[in-house]
Chains A and B, each alone.
Chain A
Amino acid sequence: MSSGSVRRVSALALRIFRQFTRDRRTAMLIFVLPVVVMTLVSYLLEGPPSKIPFALIKESSGTSVIYEIIKDMLEEEDRVRLVSVDKNDVERSLREGRIRGALIIRGGGLDDMTEGRAAGMEVFFEGSDALATGELAAILARISRGLMPAVRDVVDVVGDETARALAGMEIKERYLYGGPTFTPTDYLAPVILGAFPFVLTFILTSISFLRERTSGTMERLLASPIGRVEVIVGYLAGFLIFTMIQACIILGFVLWVMEVHMVGAIGIVFFLVMIITMVGAGLGMFLSSFARTELQVAQFMPLVILPLLLVSGVFWPVETMPKWLWPLGYGSPLTWANIALRDVMVKGFGLVEIVNSFGILCFFAVVFVLLAAATLRRQLD
């Protein structure tokens, strides 16, 4: 390398260094973002730190040896938190998300055992989250296998009748939502259906809006009789066409290729995708006003969209995440998109039953659209 060449290369490298130091956001992206994202990802990959809420119900009033033994065994499990639930409140508690499953034991008293009457055991899963259900099922299978030796420790002499009673015990399964054929894919599919239109509209609107500003067309638009709200509604309507086509393709793929279970009404799913599109478009239009170049718009993906996605309960519900992540989790519109879409697709809920998550999504859509309108108004400086 000649000295002239070294000078040219150094000048180029120095110029790039100078440009980056002037762009604080890029500097932050390079140095801070990996730490933030790795922290979030490490929490997600480690699994939910909080335990799965589970109830153990004794249906008969007398003492139940089986109940006591299983309770001891469950208390030793790291991944389960026993929640006290009245035997008449099991379904409601499952529906409200207080517990993810319940084991209901009928009989199992000492007299029953010695007289050969098997205890009735039924596990009632909430079922919408196949990962949590699978984890609980594995724990119960382990308990079931350890039950015989545990009973032998308690009952001094195991006679033929008791042995028959133990052999006749099996845990029946019941599901509030989903079922044994549901897989983690069923739980993840609604996330795909929500995240793709959200990310697509975010990218399209933020880049289009930036181009409108930098090319001068926004200036020209705002000098015409079109109102600011009309600009935003026009944008929403324009992008809605593409996201609805995309939603059709994703839904078709999810239902017919991935063979994901779909319990609820397809119309509600499309309606939700429409609202999610508005949230993504509103956020895109709003944030684009904070970018001067397309490079800065691209930075919003790892800076804003990725964290919003990671904390949205993709793998585990937000309530199972560390508490310090809750404000971020519940502040992410994608969390409510996932909740609403899962409620419809996995649980078969109607609009009335998803009113909370649906309402919050609408709230996000309105807030982002108003913020976008406010940033457009800023043109009148």
Chain B
Amino acid sequence: MHAGESSSVPAAVEVRDLRKTFGARVALGGLSLSISEGQTYGLIGPNGAGKTTFIRIAVGLSRAGAGTVRVLGHEMPDRSAARHIGYMTQKSALYNDLTIVENLKFYAALYGLSGRERKERIDEALELVELTQRRNDLVGALSGGMIQRSSLAAALLHKPRLIFLDEPTSGVDPELRLAFWNHFERLNEQGATLVVSTHHLDEASRCHKLGMLRDGKLIADDSPDALLNRTGTGTLEEAFLKIAREGG
């Protein structure tokens, strides 16, 4: 994996003092971070840490309570940024009563793809997630892992420059998780910036940089190696627990 981090590389995502509350509950309490283009950035943290809230604001689905989020130069929410962003939600976000290829055709049309270009992109995406043989199967009849792979294919069709993956490997068996991260690596090599939220700290080590979130705040933001060195721990789990105990 190439380093992807340099001061001369422009930021794909620039977050400044982002705040968001739901009633009395603080989901994001002043989050600031910067993700350079070409990076694979891992968002880690326990449930309720604010990972999904941040991603929803970054893809334009939710408004910030305060602060700003700039994505590929667009201050979000900005509809014109949508065609450059890929988004894989926690849920499958596919229509069970359509086949894989029908779902992909639908999403391709939403991004303005048609004709030969649409066919080529669908073929490429199916190949990437190794579902070419199952293209005409109904999504409702697929296993959980295949549905996740189909969802990933749907998020990649329009060749986005920036891809947000919200817990893409949750509920996925170890073998498939490995395959997923291989896909992510290939996408990154092709030039895409990836923002991946995950609970699995073992796979987080494959990111260029990690943002550790707790209670809506960034408690650490560094490369996996730097985090291990700084905490003097052997694993990211231990590093996360130590940083969390010390309050960042």
Give A residues with C-beta under 8 Å from B: 215-217, 219-227, 379-381
Contact = CB atoms under 8 A, between A and B. Distances in A.
A224 B61 contact: no
A380 B63 contact: yes
The 9 closest A-B pairs by CB, nearest first: A216-B91, A220-B93, A224-B110, A225-B82, A216-B93, A223-B87, A223-B59, A225-B83, A216-B89
Contacts of A381: 62-63
Nearest to A218: B93
Interface of B: 56, 59-63, 77, 79, 82-83, 85, 87, 89-96, 107, 110-112, 154
Interface of A is mostly: loop
B79 A227 contact: yes
A224 B60 contact: no
| Among A217, A222, A223, A380: residue with most chain B CB under 10 A | A223
Given A225-B110, A225-B111, A379-B61, A219 B93 contact: yes
A318 B48 CA distance: 54
Contacts of B96: 215
A224 B111 contact: yes
B131 to A, nearest CB: 18
Nearest to B20: A381
Contacts of B90: 216
Nearest to A225: B82
30 contacts: A216-B90, A216-B91, A217-B93, A217-B94, A219-B56, A219-B61, A219-B91, A219-B93, A220-B87, A220-B89, A220-B93, A221-B110, A223-B59, A223-B60, A223-B82, A223-B85, A223-B87, A223-B89, A224-B110, A225-B83, A225-B110, A225-B112, A227-B79, A379-B62, A380-B60, A380-B62, A380-B63, A380-B77, A381-B62, A381-B63
B209 to A, nearest CB: 24
B119 to A, nearest CB: 19
| Among A219, A220, A379: residue with most chain B CB under 10 A | A220
A223 B93 CA distance: 11
Given A225-B110, A225-B111, A227-B79, A219 B89 contact: yes
B93 A224 contact: no
Contacts of A379: 61-62
A227 B93 CA distance: 18
A224 B81 CA distance: 9
B182 to A, nearest CB: 24
Nearest to B103: A217
A90 B217 CA distance: 79
Contact of B92 (A215, A221, A225): A215
A225 B79 contact: yes
A222 B93 contact: no
Contacts of A227: 79
Contacts of A221: 110
A134 B59 CA distance: 65
Contacts of B87: 220, 223
Nearest to A380: B63
A42 B82 CA distance: 55
Given A224-B111, A225-B83, A217 B61 contact: no
